[in-house]
Amino acid sequence: MTRRRFHATGCSGHTLLELTIAVALGLAVTAGAIAAYRSQRQAFVLASDNARVHEAGMNALMLVGEQIQMAGFVPADSAQGLAASAVFGCAGGRPTGADDSLTCEALSGRSDGIAIRYIGDSVSTWPSSNGQVTDCLGQAVGAAGVVVVNRYHAKTSGSTGEPELYCEGSGKVGTAQPLVEGVEKLRLRYWLAGASQPVDASLLARDQWTAVVAVDLCVQVRGAVLARRVSYVDCDGAAVSATDGRARQIFWRHIALRNAQEAAI
């Protein structure tokens, strides 16, 4: 019997060591790519959350701040002024009750609240579709010359479980609607004429609200639940360590009451 021999010309096989090294290198490259993806994704999530917090804070400052600037406004051609103070505030609560006899209702989140009064016309408010004066929610209040009272506070939504900035306008007293999500607290301090420092609403007697000439507004906004430990300085200037994985940021503004005038609640 003739034996045939086969020779592989120009071909060489891979040893087990070479295969192991190739697999190890491939796994290392894959692990590095996954780690880079996770890192980039986490950075994107954090950046997006910070952007949402910043946007919410700036929107809340703008909405409430512009209303405080409008407080006490009376049109030049108006035959009557305000029969009550331009602002009325609550420490750890929200203004409630009739517009001309406001009281305070405590909030579980301990957010401050503020009521802002002015006379509405086509300058101080956006007119409705039928030309009426509107409140903070765009609800029709009445013809030009009507007194508008907008009440702001922050609380946790019963439907979403997230904190929100709310406003209750004269167009539908007793029904507050959310404006900005993420707003956890409002802190308001009031400057009296001639004072050297601001005070909380709880330290003001009812007849002192007409002497308020400026407001320090602080807004605390919280972010989404993420796996992180964060610390922040709250509106009272205290350092706080958050344990719920949510970042928080405060936004502050000093606002002069340009239209404040002497009146009594």
Tell me the pLDDT tens digit for each residue of 202-235: 999 999 999 999 999 999 999 888 767 788 889 9
* Residue 5 placed within a domain: no
Q: To the nearest 5 percent, what fractions of the chain are helix, strand and coil?
A: 25, 35, 40
List C-alpha distances in Å: 125 to 18, 45, 73: 78, 38, 11
pLDDT band with cut points at 50, 70 and 90 for residue 265? very low
What average pLDDT does the segment 40-44 reach? 69
For residue 155, the enclosing domain spans: 41-256
* Within a domain: 71: yes
* Predicted pLDDT of residue 84: 86
Residue 175 in this model has a pLDDT that exceeds 70: yes
The total number of structural domains in the chain stands at 1
Q: Is residue 12 part of a domain?
A: no
Lowest-pLDDT range, 39-48, 137-146, 162-171?
A: 39-48
Question: Which of 43-47, 49-53, 167-171 has the highest average model confidence (pLDDT)?
Answer: 167-171
Strand partners, 152: 114, 167
Q: In this structure, is residue 264 part of a structural domain? A: no
Q: With 60 as the cut, is the pLDDT of residue 11 above it?
A: no
> Could you tell me if residue 230 is inside a domain?
yes
Give me the mean pLDDT over the 65-81 stretch.
88
Q: What is residue 2's predicted lDDT score, i.e. its pLDDT?
A: 53
Q: What is the mean pLDDT of residues 72-88?
A: 86
What confidence score (pLDDT) does residue 149 get? 96
Domain membership of residue 3 (yes or no) is: no
pLDDT at 183 over 80: yes
Q: What is the pLDDT of residue 264?
A: 36
What average pLDDT does the segment 66-91 reach?
A: 89
Per-residue confidence (pLDDT) for residue 251, from 0 to 100: 96
CB 131 within 8 A of CB 149: no
Percent of the chain with pLDDT over 90: 55
For residue 2, tell me if it sits in a domain. no
* pTM of the shown model: 0.81
pLDDT: which is higher, 5 or 68:
68
Residue 15 inside a domain? The answer is no
